[in-house]
Structure 1
Amino acid sequence: MPNLSTSIATHYHERTKYHPQTIAAKNQGLDWSKQPVPFKEYKIGQSYDLTPYLSETSPTAPQAQEWQRLSRLLGCSYGLTAKIPTMGNPVYLRAAPSAGGLYPAEVYLISKGTALLPPGLYNYQAQTHSLVHFWDDEVWSKLQQACWFHSALENTELAIITTAIFYRSAWRYEDRAYRRIFLDTGHLLGNIELACSINHYRPHLIGGFQDHLLNKLLYLEPEKEGVITVIPLTDLLKQTQDKLVTYQPNALPSPIQRDYPLIDDGELLPYFHQATAIQTAESPQPFTNSSDTQSLEDKYNFPFCLKVSTKTFPIDWGKEFYDLEKTILRRRSTRAYTGANLTLDELKSLLHFTYQSQDYLSQGFDPIPDYFDLSLIETFIAVSGVQGIDTGCYYYAPKAQELRQIRFKNFRQELHYLCLGQELGRDAGAIIFHTADLQKAVEKYGDRVYRYLHLDAGHLGQRLNLAAIQLNLGVSGIGGFFDDQVNEVLGIPDAEAVLYLTTLGRPRYQ
């Protein structure tokens, strides 16, 4: 029987934990005859080919310049970056990483009506790098209504919508796939944020909306797929749009559901997604607590612990983001590490780019990129091999920019075990753990917070990915681990639910 004092978010998290005693039962093999196709096809609509605008040469015609910006934005966000031949269908890799290469996210574009794109709905076809205009009608007012007339939609003409097709991930990861879907979408959000900087857009992240209205607007099948985020794009090259957006919260709460039935395995994911939806026609009131929302100090400040400053110089991303664009397109998840040490300076640079965005304004980055609520996310680092710092587990304090040691130990063998026997865990020089106090988070945003937490963790993970590739390091995210044992082994407080792991090391080329 479900514990009716427990929210459905907490129930879902507990139900989808991996345990050493039961993990074998979850690995009974995959039915390859039911493997989902990672591309959505639209058989009707006008197609706009974006491939001619991928050239590095800047066109002179203003309309061609706009096409190039849009083409490169979508390509750097979710475009194909490699084709791997196999015995069956080829495997395509994309700019954003995805657990198991399953790519559950879809990218849509809604146009208010521009010189390039007539009003209506567009789907980004990554396989052909094109836009399909599958609904030719004015829909912007419906988008505004579904987002309670968010101010970011007032002066903009384009909005990216990310959706998820649940079965693409659930085919392999079953109910736990919900976690991975939002981590994967978080990776995509990280790319969108940075690709917008490259192409002179400012993305505004919206996670609080009327789910059923947006699903209906995009003609989605809500039992199979759903809208995850709305991202209005301010065009910074148009004076009519380059205005300050009146602040509105991008994360809104949903109800906390504590009265739920017994849910069978395989049904938990769709039930939980519906439970996190916002159905009311009136905008929910955002959480307000001045003493909590903008804490001036980092959460954990352990007495007498070793403290190591992480202050450093920004990573140089090249003139006009040249190195950033190249890094996004050549990013790959590392398959094996050598076990050799990283340096403390490398670890500092990784953390600096991920958390200290204010120091990148001079290079043209957004100094305050949108997240849902980073005050809920904590960062712990298991150091196994970083030259210049002792092995052990550290808490990263982003405001103070320092590492605070909480446990003295070399964890290599334990990390190998915690990561389900993956050698990446054993051979990494460092593993970054993103966690959250789930009970506190639910109190603030209701069950919908589970979406926000994993989206933010994935977003941070993507910045780590790109910084590591730029520094010629190996990097790979891990969404499968023994949840409870992570806290126990590393000394992380029990209240912290583990969301995501990012491994970092010296790549071993095979």
Structure 2
Amino acid sequence: MPELHQSIAQHYHERTKYDPETLASKSQRLDWAKQPVPFKEYKIGSSFDLKPYILEQPEAFTNNPNARWWQRLARLLFRSYGLTARIPSMGSTVYLRSAPSAGGLYPAEVYLVSRGTPLLPPGLYNYQCRTNSLMHFWESDVWSSLQAGCFWHPSLENTQLAIIVTAVFYRSAWRYEDRAYRRIFLDTGHLLGNIELAAAVNDYRPHLIGGFVDDAINDLLYIDPQQEGAIAVLPLADLLDIQQNLPTGRTALPSATETNYPRIPDGELLTYFHRHTQIQSGTTGKLNLPEIKQEKSLEDKYNFPFCLKIPTATTPIYWGKNLSELENTMHKRRSTRAYSGNDLTFDELKALLDFTYQPQSYLEQSLDTAPDYFDLNLIETFIAVCGVKGLESGCYYYAPKAQELRQIRFKNFRQELHFLCLGQELGRDASAVVFHTADLKSAIAQYGDRVYRYLHMDAGHLGQRLNLAAIYMNLGVSGIGGFFDDQVNEVLGIPTDEAVLYITTLGKPR
């Protein structure tokens, strides 16, 4: 039986760790006959074609406010999750999207809820990325139901549109089995990072909501909760409408912490865990859940004694007039397949960290200086440096508040990183490898088992900012969700309380 003092989130994390002694025995051949289709289709509904508004330059709609409105919405959706390439593969076609996904499986679905605008009737829409269109599959006013499901969150009071992101679990579980839950939320974090930045380019401000009644939002979308589940809600404040410019609200709410659970067979763990990270119905009217007291510490978590401290403050990346280079980068982003082994410069690493962790540096470029995350206080960053000119090899803790690197271990880790990343050459040949971690036990104590979702989406969101900055600077970048969990802490000297969530490799592309 599981240890009862462990919550289901802790149990899931332990059960899905990769270990060098057991990984080979767990591997199985993929059943290609059961490969899931990464697109959702509707047989009934009316379609709104967005393609004409994506292709036209903004100047073409200067004197047509209706077309300009459509263009802003179309480009927001396209830059967030649109198709950016078609690649032939094994007799079929692989479609790549603007947000990266483990194994190219794309478990997320993007829905749009309209309160009812002069141009977009009320109801539910699914973003059809293959055709760049919105499928209007439910034509009734559902906004009050959305508000109720989100505990009457203040950002839904005056906004007219909201994005709901769901996960189709089997798309990832087909390949990654129970561990797919981690990758689903990392992938969703990539998507959230894209939505945040694409919204800024198109004069929207997304408000992130992770605390909602799961059954209520699933019912709202008419989805089968055994196959698909809502995981994030994002009201879109139109920055060109002063009535919609609301202050941000709470992004994360707690769930229960489940410790009394049966023995769960392999293959059923993902479904069981997701069900027990949900916020249940029964709360009526206004919010009536335990209050979360987020720590607003002015200091970074770790300040190791006698460690070398290296400042990282730098000049912000310039994203071009009207963020044009950011938009281009979101379109051309690709995950790097191989590194040359050549060194990065320290200035390049500092620029990557600045864009990812210092949004206040981008006020003059009209980017959000405080974008929504669930709780970045829970996420820590460690960097294994193997080839950065001007920086000694070793493992560093990145202190974002102090804007400095703190070296905690002196060593070149190339061979160890090759091993830790399951023998992937990306780990061996990268110039720097970023590790996002969290104290899982402490996080669960604050938010319950649902925090497992929040942690991985926040890590993926940070990873996507690293992605885009690296691509813009002509660097290589690739995320890794498969690694030997416990051995990472041991080899790099990362505190044992820190559970590794995500790895991002950086280097010069081959």
- TM-score, length-scaled by structure 2: 0.98
Match of 2:462 in 1: 460
2:479 aligned with 1:477, yes or no?
yes
How far did 1:301 drift? 0.4
Between the aligned partners of 2:9 and 2:104, the Cα distance in structure 1 is 26
2:239 aligned with 1:241, yes or no?
no
Between the aligned partners of 1:116 and 1:85, the Cα distance in structure 2 is 37
Q: Conserved in 2, the CA contact under 8 Å of 1:252 and 1:284?
A: no
Match of 1:503 in 2: 505
Between the aligned partners of 1:449 and 1:284, the Cα distance in structure 2 is 18
Match of 1:296 in 2: 298
Q: Conserved in 1, the CA contact under 8 Å of 2:207 and 2:249?
A: no
2:403 aligned with 1:380, yes or no?
no
How far did 1:85 drift? 1.4
2:228 aligned with 1:225, yes or no?
yes
After superposition, what is the alpha-carbon deviation per residue over 1:240-287, rounded to whole angstroms, capped at 9, x for unaligned? 323x33x53110000000000000000000000000000033235354
Q: Conserved in 2, the CA contact under 8 Å of 1:110 and 1:119?
A: yes
Q: RMSD between aligned alpha carbons? A: 0.9
Structure 1: which 5+ residue stretches go unaligned? none
Between the aligned partners of 1:287 and 1:355, the Cα distance in structure 2 is 27
2:335 is aligned, of 305, 330, 333, to 333
Match of 1:279 in 2: 280
Listed as ranges, the matches of 1:180-199 within 5 Å are 180-199=183-202
Listed as ranges, the matches of 1:318-329 within 5 Å are 318-329=320-331
Match of 2:446 in 1: 444
Between the aligned partners of 1:288 and 1:255, the Cα distance in structure 2 is 13
- SS of the residue corresponding to residue 504 of structure 2 reads strand
Deviates more, 1:80-89 or 1:152-161: 80-89
Listed as ranges, the matches of 1:323-362 within 5 Å are 323-362=325-364
- SS of the residue corresponding to residue 122 of structure 1 reads strand
Percent of aligned pairs with the same amino acid: 70
1:115 is aligned, of 90, 115, 118, to 118
Between the aligned partners of 2:337 and 2:292, the Cα distance in structure 1 is 44
The residue type equivalent to 1:346 in the other structure is E
Match of 1:19 in 2: 19
Between the aligned partners of 2:430 and 2:369, the Cα distance in structure 1 is 30
Match of 1:50 in 2: 50
How far did 1:27 drift? 2.1
Match of 2:97 in 1: 94
Listed as ranges, the matches of 1:365-404 within 5 Å are 365-404=367-406
After superposition, what is the alpha-carbon deviation per residue over 1:118-176, rounded to whole angstroms, capped at 9, x for unaligned? 00000000010100000000000000000010000001000000000000000000000
Listed as ranges, the matches of 1:308-323 within 5 Å are 308-323=310-325
Q: Conserved in 1, the CA contact under 8 Å of 2:396 and 2:405?
A: yes
2:437 aligned with 1:426, yes or no?
no
State how many pairs are aligned: 504
Q: Conserved in 2, the CA contact under 8 Å of 1:36 and 1:171?
A: yes
- SS of the residue corresponding to residue 85 of structure 1 reads strand
1:157 is aligned, of 150, 157, 160, to 160
After superposition, what is the alpha-carbon deviation per residue over 1:153-200, rounded to whole angstroms, capped at 9, x for unaligned? 001000000000000000000000000000000000000000000000
After superposition, what is the alpha-carbon deviation per residue over 1:313-365, rounded to whole angstroms, capped at 9, x for unaligned? 10000000100000000000000000110000000000000000011010010
After superposition, what is the alpha-carbon deviation per residue over 1:15-51, rounded to whole angstroms, capped at 9, x for unaligned? 0000001111232210000000000001110000100
Q: Conserved in 2, the CA contact under 8 Å of 1:253 and 1:284?
A: no
Between the aligned partners of 1:284 and 1:438, the Cα distance in structure 2 is 25
Between the aligned partners of 2:49 and 2:443, the Cα distance in structure 1 is 43
- SS of the residue corresponding to residue 92 of structure 2 reads coil
Structure 2: which 5+ residue stretches go unaligned? none
After superposition, what is the alpha-carbon deviation per residue over 1:443-495, rounded to whole angstroms, capped at 9, x for unaligned? 00000000000000000000000000011000000000000000000000110
Match of 1:256 in 2: 257
Between the aligned partners of 2:338 and 2:330, the Cα distance in structure 1 is 20
2:148 aligned with 1:137, yes or no?
no
